């Protein structure tokens, strides 16, 4: 990695960290407040319909954002063409959501979902309007501007949601939060970027970008639909309250298991794209990313499994106790998911989006099959089916990376195995102490876990220790 690119990547990592941690932190605090003002059914209602918004959003993007980043010579014509395309598709899918809302409400036998889905669907148009601006900032590694926009919108949207919830507006508090965040982002993106499309629409540009982005679009469509289909299954087969318990567990798991990986992937995809012609450097960068992520996330997930019950009661109250077993199982799945996108985006960066698309049929078809089987065993079986799918997805992406990028599976395993074994050993040891009846406050258990982990990792001279320290020093020097 060249010095200039390396410095820009470090700077991007700093701002992406501020963005992700700041936004997630604000949303986490807001969620804590809302969890005590709203019911599990309110959260469940949103969870059941989000699949329709998320799938529509994939159609709006169409894979063009990734194509614009991956292509080294994207110009104003390309950006303008995709802008107008996104706006048109966004309007089309809002109309589809609007007309389909009554059928969704009847499917779940919840009349309130009809107006909720129709109002929430407006975010498709707003998100379409800022897609190109977001891509331009990501492509130039301008994550400072993205951080400011995301944090400001999260703060304003969260404040509005709390006020609405305190006034007894129930599920509409969550709708108001998401809608206001989208509106604020539109205004701020145009104020920050000052970018406007030219009056041009190039069919040649659209075809050229779709040649790459089209495969990612199809892969992302399958991924989004299958990853969120559990909302339909839980909402229809179980209840809105069960969906709410799952939704809350998933949010907490996302903060712990996805925040840092998402920061790194967000920054590193443009970097991977620039390194696509230098495979040794690309592989070395990926391995370093694997070690750093595993070094931070694996012990964090293990520690959260250890203290899950008292932590959730402390955060949300005893009303949310049924979320505990779901959260623990989801943490197991995050061991695989926190690593899988590194391989995925590396393969995309070297231009193999077609292979990602073709293999997505297997990955997401297997997820759907596992969910359909698991739902007959109850919610716990359904959660474990998701874990099995995460492991399968990780393995497929790793094998694709081995073939098209050159990162061998045994190198990947060798990079993270010591970290995984140490995390599991400490989890087993401290769980055994719990079962002896020894009463220790959960915060002290968490502190003892992390102190033991860091001390043993340093004593055992894990390579990830030095890499993580070096990364923190570079970040501090910036």
Are residues 259 and 396 in contact, defined by beta-carbon separation less than 8 angstroms? no
Interval 173-189: pLDDT, tens = 999 999 999 999 989 88
Average pLDDT, the chain: 84
Are residues 206 and 150 in contact, defined by beta-carbon separation less than 8 angstroms? no
Interval 308-358: pLDDT, tens = 999 999 888 888 999 999 999 999 999 998 888 889 888 888 888 778 878
pLDDT at position 1: 46
Query: What phi and psi, each to the nearest 5 degrees, are found at residue 462?
Result: -60, 135
pLDDT at position 423: 95
pLDDT at 271 over 60: yes
pLDDT at position 10: 58
Give the global pTM: 0.74
Whole-angstrom distance, CA of residue 240 vs CA of residue 108: 9
Whole-angstrom distance, CA of residue 356 vs CA of residue 347: 8
Residue 377's alpha-carbon distances to 238, 370, 374, in angstroms, are 12, 11, 5
Residue 120: CB atoms within 10 Å: 23
Interval 273-291: pLDDT, tens = 777 778 888 898 889 889 9
pLDDT at 159 over 70: yes
Average pLDDT over residues 217-232: 72
Whole-angstrom distance, CA of residue 270 vs CA of residue 56: 25
pLDDT at 193 over 70: yes
Whole-angstrom distance, CA of residue 206 vs CA of residue 58: 17
Interval 429-455: pLDDT, tens = 988 877 776 677 888 989 999 999 999
pLDDT at position 7: 58
Are residues 204 and 76 in contact, defined by beta-carbon separation less than 8 angstroms? no
Helix (H) or strand (E) holding 122: none
pLDDT at position 18: 66
Give the chain's end-to-end CA distance (angstroms, integer).
18
Q: Is 455 exposed, middle or buried (0-12, 13-18, 19+ CB in 10 A)?
A: exposed
Are residues 40 and 171 in contact, defined by beta-carbon separation less than 8 angstroms? no
DSSP codes, 197-230: --S---HHHHHHHHHHHHHHHHHHHHHHHHHHHH
Q: Range with the lowest mean pLDDT among 304-313, 336-345, 357-366, 466-475?
A: 466-475
Q: Range with the lowest mean pLDDT among 64-78, 190-204, 340-354?
A: 64-78
Interval 91-118: pLDDT, tens = 998 999 999 999 999 988 889 899 999 9
Confidence band, pLDDT 50/70/90 cuts, at residue 267 = low
Interval 116-146: pLDDT, tens = 999 999 999 998 888 888 887 777 666 677 7
Structure tokens at 149: 């926009």
Using the 8-state DSSP alphabet, how is residue 92 labeled? H
Sign, CA dihedral 258-261-267-271, equals: negative
Q: Report helix, strand or coil for 133.
A: helix
Whole-angstrom distance, CA of residue 383 vs CA of residue 243: 12
Whole-angstrom distance, CA of residue 303 vs CA of residue 294: 14
Structure tokens at 152: 């400001």
pLDDT at position 477: 55
Stronger pLDDT, 205 or 295, i.e. the higher one: 295
Interval 396-408: pLDDT, tens = 999 999 999 989 9
């Amino acid at each position: 990695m060249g010095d200039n690119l390396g410095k820009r990547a470090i700077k991007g990592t700093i701002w992406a960290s501020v963005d992700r941690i700041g936004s997630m932190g604000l949303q986490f605090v807001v969620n804590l407040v809302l969890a005590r003002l709203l019911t599990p059914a309110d959260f469940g209602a949103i969870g059941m319909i989000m699949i329709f918004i998320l799938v529509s959003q994939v159609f709006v993007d169409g894979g063009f954002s990734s194509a614009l980043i991956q292509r080294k010579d994207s110009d104003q014509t390309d950006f303008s063409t995709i802008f107008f395309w996104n706006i048109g598709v966004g309007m089309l899918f809002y109309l589809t959501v609007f007309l389909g809302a009554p059928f969704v409400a009847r499917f779940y036998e919840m009349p309130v979902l009809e107006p909720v889905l129709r109002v929430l669907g407006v975010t498709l148009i707003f998100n379409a309007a800022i897609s190109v601006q977001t891509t331009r900032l990501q492509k130039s590694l301008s994550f400072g501007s993205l951080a400011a926009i995301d944090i400001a919108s999260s703060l304003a949207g969260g404040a509005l949601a709390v006020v609405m919830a305190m006034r007894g507006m129930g599920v509409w508090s969550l709708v108001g939060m998401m809608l206001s965040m989208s509106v604020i982002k539109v205004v701020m993106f145009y104020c920050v970027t000052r970018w406007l499309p030219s009056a041009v629409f190039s069919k040649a540009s659209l075809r050229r970008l779709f040649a790459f982005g089209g495969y990612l679009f199809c892969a992302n469509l399958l991924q989004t639909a299958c990853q969120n289909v559990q909302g339909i299954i839980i909402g229809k087969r179980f209840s809105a309250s069960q969906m709410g318990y799952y939704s809350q567990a998933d949010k907490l798991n996302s903060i712990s298991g996805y925040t840092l990986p998402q920061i790194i992937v967000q920054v590193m995809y443009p970097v991977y794209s620039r390194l696509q012609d230098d495979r040794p450097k690309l592989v070395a960068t990926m391995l370093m990313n694997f070690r750093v992520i595993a070094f931070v996330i694996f012990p964090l997930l293990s520690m959260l499994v250890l203290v899950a019950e008292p932590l959730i009661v402390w955060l949300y109250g005893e009303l949310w106790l049924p979320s505990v077993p779901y959260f623990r199982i989801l943490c197991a799945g995050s061991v695989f998911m926190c690593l899988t996108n590194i391989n995925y985006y590396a393969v995309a960066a070297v231009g193999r989006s077609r292979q990602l698309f073709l293999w997505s049929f297997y990955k997401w078809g297997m997820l759907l099959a596992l969910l359909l089987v698991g739902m007959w065993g109850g919610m716990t079986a359904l959660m474990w089916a998701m874990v099995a799918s995460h492991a399968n997805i990780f393995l497929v992406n790793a094998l694709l990376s081995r073939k098209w990028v050159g990162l061998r599976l045994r190198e990947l395993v060798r990079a993270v195995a010591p970290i995984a074994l140490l995390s599991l050993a400490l989890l087993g040891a401290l769980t055994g102490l719990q079962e002896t009846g020894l009463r220790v406050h959960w915060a002290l258990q968490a502190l003892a876990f992390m102190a033991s982990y860091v001390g043993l990792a340093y004593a055992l001279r894990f390579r990830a220790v030095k890499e993580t320290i070096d990364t923190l020093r570079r970040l501090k020097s910036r």
